[in-house]
Copies of this chain bind each other. A is one copy, B any other.
């Protein structure tokens, strides 16, 4: 996996790295079990303090997205949805509202948003069946 970071941005570097891992996973570019570059290697590559890389990795591990196996490296963890359906719904709606608020302020029309969304949604690897199925999709 290829990382990059922008030291001039106001979003902290460790956050940029976390976001990149999460987005790459969501796009299916990296799979569970895959190994990420070591802290030191990535620190050299990005010319960044190793502590910063370590912080990004440890936060992701705390979130259950990565597994660190001492002496072996850092690996993508298998998916695990531990949240209740209610909490997941809330967060989805929140994420959508943030996105739509931005879209309105950028001056786009409903159609333009829908078009762009359709284009982008194909590039993500969505689950084929929800772990806690919603009532909308009754089991056959």
Which A residues lie at the B interface, using CB under 8 A?
A: 7-8, 10, 12, 19, 22-23, 25-26, 61-62, 65, 67-70, 72, 75, 77, 79, 81, 83, 88-89, 91-93, 95-117, 120-121, 124-132, 134, 136-137
Q: Is the CB of B93 within 8 A of A109?
A: no
Q: State whether B106 touches A69 (Cβ < 8 A).
A: no
- CA distance in complex: A72, B49 (Å): 11
Nearest opposing residue in chain B for A102, CB measure? B95
Q: State the CA gap A121–B100 with chains docked (Å).
A: 7
State A67–B125 Cα separation when bound (angstroms).
34
Number of copies: 4
> Could you say which of B10, B23, B101, B112 contacts A22, with CB atoms under 8 Å apart?
B101
- Identify which of A79, A88, A104, A115 gathers the most chain B CB atoms within 10 Å of its CB: A104
Residue of chain B at shortest CB distance from A12: B70
Q: Whole-angstrom distance between the alpha carbons of A116 and B5 in the complex? A: 32
